[in-house]
Amino acid sequence: MARFNPARVAAASVAALALGTALAPTTSAAPPVRSSAPLDCGTVAEAPADAGTGEAVLDRVRVDDTWAGHYVGQAMLTDGQHQYVAYYDQDRALTVAHRTLDTAEWTRQRLATTVGWDSHNYVTIATDRDGNLHVAGNMHNHELRYWRTTEPGDVASLQRVANMVNPSLERSVTYPVFLELGDGTLVFRYREGGSGNGVDVYNRYDEATRSSSALLTTPVLDGEGERNAYAAKPRLGPDGRYHMVWVWREDPIASSTHTVSYARTTDLTSWEDSAGQSLALPITLGTSDAVDPVEPEGGAINNNVQVGFDAAGAPVVAYHKYDQDGNTQVYVARPDDSEDGWQQVQVSRWTGAWDFSQPGTLVFQVEVYWAPKLTEDGRIRLDVECQGEPRTFYLDGQTLEPLEEVASPPSVPAGVADLRSDYQHAGGPGELGTSMQVNLNDDSGAAGSFHARDLLPDVGEVRRDLLRWESLGENRDRPRTSWPAAQPLEVVVVGTKDACKDGGWQSFSGRYRNQGQCVSAVARQLGER
């Protein structure tokens, strides 16, 4: 996965999984022969000197020391004045901490589970309409590991919930995600089963009964016992609907990934394709709305499929595959009136290919973790990483044709993403992720393979709380013989002068005496005085 990690997925609990005849991928053409040359992304111009977010560091609050022997996703959630952090402590124990925003004092609660060497075992958190905290994590084909508070704001009241709905569908859980319906109903989504033979499950939570139930009686996506879908977290669009993209995978080897697919919904129960036609559940490979029918071994991979929106609110899907010469390239696609229903546009002009035909957690040479985002001038911005270097593509908002590729401008104020640790890891034969890295996550409560924090503040956003820690990278879920000492885990608050106003200065853990002092601190960092 990433060397710079923005901390890194669909249907109801199922009474019986529908099985059917395995369908072949939706195209008959053979995939391009992968280039034997290593991936070369070339060089791009540096970002302008004045590029950046216009933010300063407003506060730093230490949470604890955290495990640093390998990367695994950790989460933060800000709910009103309450802030929660779920992480693995210096002894690898899953721990949940709580504070109110006006203090630097944390209350911590260890939970009875510890992380091994698997980078899939991230932790994710959410609050319900009563303010109780829900925690799920440390699962990669494990039994359900889920906790819930009995008193809002009190992490000491966290209790293990052994089974949520159906024990037979909670024995091999991976990729937990929390979602929220329009009325605030909390929905928990996860994969039951393994790579190549799994199904996604959705459960909803009822505060009145303090229990969960199946959202549907059938899966949304079903691999028919032959494959499984890797779906990104449904993304709420400007049209008020959730938009979901996914790929299918035939077996545990990532190179068997194929067929970029799409569906949308208003309630997570009734789904339709990009033309507005109803999709019968479960959606299978044969009934999918294929954004791009990439063949197995065609260069697509799970995690690297994202959906954003253009100026008209239409979905824009970003992914990668091999071009006709077998080179790895980034593509975008948008619904149109063609026979296939989708316009596909090649964005990059790279040479060579990324080979991901190995088992285990991969070190990603290409990362498409950020959704295409509309800019104020009507272009579409697509941020990617190639060989660990952040790149930004600007696309024509009307045609999707690439206009330029530049080095990504800073997404956080100076110093936040700078590595502080001087640990040097020798590593053993074949060991990966041997360099220390900076990990950042947002305060959405989400983490893991299907979440990447927004690189830029939203229009009008004056404050962002980020979770920051340092660690070694992923090592394909294999143990190491040595590792660094635990590293500081901290909340870094960044923002503009407006974050100081209307009493905002009082929320920064007692750092400022008044609004003027807060505004002056921002001005100094931005070089204005």
pLDDT in tens, 367-411: 998 999 998 889 999 999 999 899 999 999 999 999 999 999 889
Interior CA angle at 449 toward 108 and 30, to 5°? 170
What phi, psi does 370 have (nearest 5°)?
A: -115, 135
The token pair that represents 70 in the structure block: 């390998």
Average pLDDT of span 162-183: 94
Q: How confident is the model at residue 492 (pLDDT cuts 50, 70, 90)?
A: very high
Domain 5-43+67-413+446-452 - what CATH class? mainly beta
257-265 and 107-114 as β-strands: parallel, antiparallel, unpaired?
unpaired
pLDDT of residue 19: 25
Residue-range domain boundaries for the chain? 5-43+67-413+446-452
pLDDT of residue 234: 92
pLDDT of residue 361: 65
Q: Which segment of 4-18, 34-48, 257-271, 459-473 scores lowest on mean pLDDT? A: 4-18
Q: Which segment of 91-105, 215-229, 419-433 scores lowest on mean pLDDT? A: 215-229
Non-local CB neighbours of 516 within 8 Å, separated by 6+ positions? none
Q: Which segment of 36-40, 79-83, 198-202, 393-397 scores lowest on mean pLDDT? A: 198-202
Average pLDDT, the chain: 91
Question: In 161-250, at which residue ranges do the beta strands (DSSP E only) sit?
Answer: 173-180, 186-194, 197-206, 211-214, 228-231, 235-236, 242-249
pLDDT of residue 13: 26
DSSP state string for 418-467: S----------TT----S-EEEEE-SBS--STT----SSPPTT--EEEEE
Q: Is the dihedral of CA 42, 48, 54, 56 positive or negative?
A: positive
The Cα 356–Cα 328 span in angstroms is 11
pLDDT of residue 15: 26
The Cα 469–Cα 60 span in angstroms is 12
Other CB atoms within 10 A of residue 225 CB: 16
The one-letter amino acid at 408: S
Q: Which segment of 195-209, 403-417, 513-527 scores lowest on mean pLDDT? A: 195-209
pLDDT of residue 438: 97
The token pair that represents 371 in the structure block: 């959704």
pLDDT of residue 299: 97
Average pLDDT of span 41-59: 85
For residues 51 and 185, the model is more confident at 185
Question: In 232-314, at which residue ranges do the beta strands (DSSP E only) sit?
Answer: 235-236, 242-249, 257-265, 271-272, 278-279, 289-292, 306-309
pLDDT digits (tens, 9 = 90+) for 334-370: 999 998 899 999 999 999 999 999 887 678 999 998 9
**Does position 168 have pLDDT exceeding 90, yes or no?**
yes
**Does position 21 have pLDDT exceeding 90, yes or no?**
no
Q: Tell me what percent of the residues of the chain surpass a pLDDT of 90.
A: 77
Average pLDDT of span 225-236: 89
- In three-state secondary structure terms, 499 is helix
